[in-house]
Amino acid sequence: MKISELVDLFEKTAFNAKRLSIAAKIYEEMIKNNAFVFFTLAGAMIPAGMRNVISDMIKNDFIHCLVTTGANVVHEICESLGFKHISGVPEVDDVELSKKGISRIYDVFIEQKAFEGLEEFISGILKELNGTFGSYEFLQEVGKRINDKNSFLRVSYERGIPIFCPTLHDSIIGLHITIYSNIVIDYKRDISKLLDLCFQKKKFGIVIIGGGVPKNFTLQSMLLAEGFDYAIQITTDLPEWGGLSGATLDEAKSWCKLKPNAKYMTVYCDATIALPLIYAYLLDKLK
């Protein structure tokens, strides 16, 4: 059975399988209707193996602007430099791991030497740069210097897709910038650029993977514009806890971040499962 057939069947079920099917169809409609798609990617999706999914989605024109975290940028560059994430288990002695120079992200291990490689790479770039950058401008400089066709920083650079990282300083790269450079990351530039994107003569879609700052930073840019026409969200946080990452897309309508008649759906599922399913669905239906 093809994945798209299963996702189609999911529409006749209930709970989160049905939600996933509806979300996939809304994403399909975004693309068919030529909407501009903001894609927000939280947390630890790159260590969790979603790197190729993201870069392939960019290559397939399913993502027109990426908003992500410092952690995802850090781990993407580590992989671009040839360092690997190691498949581990969560039940370990973390002090023992640290003695071996291994850091853990749930069931993913990474060696400290990856961060040493990163430091060398980033400090090298920083020596060449001066002045003030939006995070998207700094990441263009990084992407320009990456030589890996699976790097979403590289792919985005080549295709002119902006990547915003509103928490770049909340990562090891933030430490590098503090230690090694005099450049300033001025997020006013990110906000201005994002606002420009929100005023294109287009329909707008947002695809939210996992909440966090990427979700809020992108949604808030619509406070000054018309609101999103389409929105889908994949999260394991839940509305009853009251936090932003689990907040419903209905709630976003009270803030006018979604248009009153927007199409939207939340899927409560680990994105490592739901995102590849939706991506495969789009490939089947649109390519």
Active-site residues, by number, are 257
Segment lying near its own copies (by CB under 8 A), choices 137-145, 150-158, 199-207, 278-286? 278-286
239 binds its own copies (CB under 8 A): yes
196 binds its own copies (CB under 8 A): no
Q: Which of 58, 65, 142, 177 binds its own copies (CB under 8 A)?
A: 177
Cα separation of 187 and 191, whole Å? 6
Sign for the pseudo-dihedral over CA of 161, 164, 168, 172: negative
Q: Which of 23, 26, 35, 48 binds its own copies (CB under 8 A)?
A: 48
Residue type, 259: K
Contact 117, 107 (CB under 8 A): no
Minimum distance, C-beta of residue 88 to its own copies, in the bound complex (Å): 8
Q: Which is nearer to its own copies, 149 or 184 (CB)?
A: 184
Count of CB atoms situated within 10 Å of the CB of 104: 17
231 binds its own copies (CB under 8 A): no
Q: Which of 146, 163, 269, 282 binds its own copies (CB under 8 A)?
A: 269
147 binds its own copies (CB under 8 A): no
Cα–Cα separations (whole angstroms), residue 145 to 68, 72, 80, 127, 181: 19, 18, 10, 13, 18
Q: Which is nearer to its own copies, 16 or 150 (CB)?
A: 16
CA 3 from centroid of its chain's CA atoms: 23
Minimum distance, C-beta of residue 272 to its own copies, in the bound complex (Å): 4
Residue with tokens 């498949």, as numbered in its chain: 87
Minimum distance, C-beta of residue 47 to its own copies, in the bound complex (Å): 7
Site for its own copies in 67-96 (CB under 8 A): 71, 85, 87, 90-92, 94-95
Segment lying near its own copies (by CB under 8 A), choices 26-34, 117-125, 144-152, 218-226? 218-226
Q: Which of 15, 32, 120, 130 binds its own copies (CB under 8 A)?
A: 15
Contact 222, 253 (CB under 8 A): no
Angle at 192 between CA 53 and CA 153, to 5 degrees: 25
Q: Which is nearer to its own copies, 157 or 265 (CB)?
A: 265
Question: Which tokens hold the place of 258?
Answer: 């979604």
287 binds its own copies (CB under 8 A): no
199 binds its own copies (CB under 8 A): no
Cα separation of 8 and 11, whole Å? 6
Q: Which of 129, 191, 225, 286 binds its own copies (CB under 8 A)?
A: 191
Site for its own copies in 85-144 (CB under 8 A): 85, 87, 90-92, 94-95, 97-98, 102-108, 132
Region of 68 on the Ramachandran plot (φ > 0 left; ψ -120 to 50 alpha; else beta): beta
Site for its own copies in 241-260 (CB under 8 A): 241-245, 247, 250-256, 260
- Residue 99 burial by CB count (10 A; 0-12/13-18/19+): exposed, middle or buried? exposed
- Residue 18 burial by CB count (10 A; 0-12/13-18/19+): exposed, middle or buried? middle
